Structure 1
Amino acid sequence: MLAYRISISGAAAQLCDIDVPRPAKGQVRVAIKACGLNFADLLMQKGTYQDTPPAPFTQGMEIAGIIDEVGPDVTHLNPGDRVAIYSGQGGLAEYGVFDADRAIPLPDSIGFEDAAAIQIAYGTSHIALDHRARLQPGETLLVTGAAGGVGLTAVEIGKLMGATVIAQARGADKLAVAQAAGADHLIDASEDLRIRVKDLGGADVVYDAIGGDVFKAAFRATNPEGRLLPIGFAGGDVPQIPANHLLVKNLTVIGFYIGGYLTFRPQIVQDSFETLFRWHSEGRIKPHISHVLPLSEAEKGLQLLRDRTATGKVVITP
């Protein structure tokens, strides 16, 4: 089978021809129909992601497909079942072997591409805003990088939760995408973020995927008792947070990493995904997928993330 792999740490990923794996105890083998790409895939290529597997490994963190074989002692899943799996690796391939307890059955109403696109981006925003930040109806949510893979879902979910959403992104086209997802106010990345947000009454919750100077500006525009979620650092710089300002304004900075919950509270992730798939079936959410590419163009898909030319998700279809 074909798989997009990092064979040696630090070396470029390549499309390789490898043996089809067999499931061991507690595992299932899935014929992969779709795999969502994530910024973390780029960090894995550089070895800087916190959960980079040891080489060799196949890239691709979230998949949807059809089970074609179950391992010993797996009784709750069967060949032919449609499932989604947040795997962390192994998704950019024609087949993959995954732990059965991570597989979530898919309703017939959701296609494989949407299922692959929902898990990490929507799961991150849903758990961050609901479980961690406790976003309340009527509060103001500021989302930076609002047209990106996770930012766009934060706009959509924030609006579903009853917040007034301020979206910051670069350029009219990306702002239009954020507006279509439900943003109430739009701020171009060329504008002074702090002044614009202050003029709109400040932010009660900040969902920041950029870091660096953008986080600093958002921090200064946060209302007293506000909560800040540093979700990622696509801008490159990890912000340093002035603790004295936290005290003066009674602010809370909330750490959140969805992968960590798979280790210490996996049910939080499972419950979130089931909620999101139900919302999709009800027509309440719809992932924005800007590109769907074959496995042979996996590197092209990742380049779209590097160049920040994609809006929403990029999905690979093995």
Structure 2
Amino acid sequence: MNAAVVTSFDEPPHYREFEVPTPTGHHEVLAEVLAVGLHPRVKSGASGSHYTSSGTLPAIPGVDGVGRLPDGRLAYFVADDDVIGTMAERAVVDVRRSVVLPDGVDVARVAASMNPAMSSWVALRRRVQLKPGASVLVLGATGSAGTAAVQIARRLGAGRVVGAGRDRQRLDALLELGADEVVRITDDRAETAAALAEVASDVDVALDYLWSTPASDAIVAMLTARQDRSRALDWVQIGSMAGPTIELPSAAFRSTNFRLLGAGQGSVSLHDYVAELPSLVDELQSGAIGVAPRIVPLADVESAWSRVDAPNERTVIVP
């Protein structure tokens, strides 16, 4: 079969022939792959930098996809943490990690949307209890996942949503997608922190896609300005686009009701992820949330690898 093949962590995948994988488990089948999202998680895995990376090469990237099962049904599926991913003409699917899709579904839209939407959907349904009317900050709201998080927070009952990010055009667009207020992150750290303290100091939940300095600046500024320090702030760490580490003063934990937790592979069980798939598919089908696909043939994966997606867009590789 043809596949995107990673032969070096310092290069993008190459379009090459690869041996067709063989199902081995009782619940595994070989599916025809129809569409695979080129997510940041896919890129970090292909570079060997993701925390689940085994360091084994050659590898096929891809953490999920839409495919046709042997019985003809369409399904969205989540791949195992393995060196043989989904960005190929065929992929092994564990049916326990899949959800059957309705006929006529836009497979490219599902492939584009499920991964970025899943991060905040699972965070708000499995890691924290989002109470009706609660307020939410999305830090890193101008990426595809962050934009979906704004929509999902509103969809799940948030009474107020604040989006923070660098791109002014994307921030303005968030006001049409469910954000009540937006804050632009700039190189002036003090100015950005002050702006976040002004509009987001009393939020109940923060969904953090940035981490590193932007997160530490925001946490300190928001907690310092918080009117009721006994009111819980759940800070959910989802992504690390700004860097993998953070420095926080211990007083942030002692002087306020501040709770730091993560949402990702390991902190949320695979069972819980899969349990959320049907309801999220329904949301995508309704058109209430979602990311627009930019379809690229598998043969062009190498040139597509470094392209930056437009606002609310996700590259989708189609064999």
What is the TM-score normalised by the length of structure 2?
Answer: 0.86
1:124 aligned to which of 112, 119, 122: 119
Structure 1 pair 200–188 and aligned structure 2 pair: CA distance change class (3 A): same
- Cα distance in 1 between the residues matched to 2:49 and 2:273: 24
2:75 aligned to which of 83, 86, 89: 83
State whether residues 15 and 302 of structure 2, in contact with CA within 8 Å, keep that contact through their aligned partners in structure 1: no
What does residue 38 of structure 2 align with?
A: 37
Cα RMSD of the aligned pairs, angstroms, is 2.3
SS of match in other structure, 2:144: coil
Structure 1 pair 278–309 and aligned structure 2 pair: CA distance change class (3 A): closer
What does residue 75 of structure 1 align with?
A: none
Is 1:239 the counterpart of 2:241? The answer is: no
What does residue 297 of structure 1 align with?
A: 300
What does residue 88 of structure 2 align with?
A: 93
Structure 1 pair 134–185 and aligned structure 2 pair: CA distance change class (3 A): same
CA deviations 1:85-110 (Å, max 9, x no partner) are 11155221111112222121112253
CA deviations 1:57-105 (Å, max 9, x no partner) are 210111001113xxxxxxxxxx201001111552211111122221211
Is 1:260 the counterpart of 2:260? The answer is: no
What does residue 276 of structure 1 align with?
A: 280
Is 1:19 the counterpart of 2:23? The answer is: no
1:185 aligned to which of 164, 174, 181: 181
Q: Is the deviation greater in 220-229 or in 30-39?
A: 220-229
Is 1:142 the counterpart of 2:132? The answer is: no
What does residue 196 of structure 1 align with?
A: 195
Structure 1 pair 180–28 and aligned structure 2 pair: CA distance change class (3 A): farther
Q: Unaligned stretches of 5+ in structure 1?
A: 69-78
- Cα distance in 2 between the residues matched to 1:28 and 1:197: 49
In structure 1, give the amino acid aligned to 2:3: A
What does residue 171 of structure 2 align with?
A: 175
The Cα of 1:169 is off from its aligned counterpart by 1.9
What does residue 291 of structure 2 align with?
A: 288
The Cα of 1:176 is off from its aligned counterpart by 3.1
The Cα of 1:19 is off from its aligned counterpart by 3.1
- Cα distance in 1 between the residues matched to 2:13 and 2:295: 20
Q: Unaligned stretches of 5+ in structure 2?
A: none
- Cα distance in 1 between the residues matched to 2:115 and 2:142: 15
Structure 1 pair 9–303 and aligned structure 2 pair: CA distance change class (3 A): closer
CA deviations 1:161-191 (Å, max 9, x no partner) are 2221111122232113323321111112227
SS of match in other structure, 1:150: helix
CA deviations 1:120-151 (Å, max 9, x no partner) are 22121111122212222222211122121321
**Percent identity over paired residues:** 23
Is 1:59 the counterpart of 2:55? The answer is: no
Q: Is the deviation greater in 225-234 or in 38-47?
A: 38-47
SS of match in other structure, 1:180: coil
State whether residues 68 and 75 of structure 2, in contact with CA within 8 Å, keep that contact through their aligned partners in structure 1: yes
SS of match in other structure, 2:57: coil
CA deviations 1:17-59 (Å, max 9, x no partner) are 1233343343111111110122122222332211124222210
- Cα distance in 1 between the residues matched to 2:139 and 2:219: 12
CA deviations 1:243-297 (Å, max 9, x no partner) are 321110110001221x2267xx332111211110122233432x12252211123
Query: Pairwise mapping of residues 202-241 of structure 1 onto structure 2 (< 5 A)?
Result: 202=201, 203-220=203-220, 221-222=222-223, 223=226, 224=229, 225-241=232-248
- Cα distance in 1 between the residues matched to 2:107 and 2:313: 16
- Cα distance in 2 between the residues matched to 1:261 and 1:112: 28
State whether residues 85 and 91 of structure 2, in contact with CA within 8 Å, keep that contact through their aligned partners in structure 1: yes
Q: Is the deviation greater in 294-303 or in 141-150?
A: 294-303
- Cα distance in 1 between the residues matched to 2:248 and 2:69: 46
The Cα of 1:10 is off from its aligned counterpart by 5.3
What does residue 76 of structure 1 align with?
A: none
Structure 1 pair 267–217 and aligned structure 2 pair: CA distance change class (3 A): same
State whether residues 290 and 310 of structure 1, in contact with CA within 8 Å, keep that contact through their aligned partners in structure 2: no
Q: Is the deviation greater in 308-317 or in 248-257?
A: 308-317
Structure 1 pair 109–228 and aligned structure 2 pair: CA distance change class (3 A): farther
Structure 1 pair 11–201 and aligned structure 2 pair: CA distance change class (3 A): closer
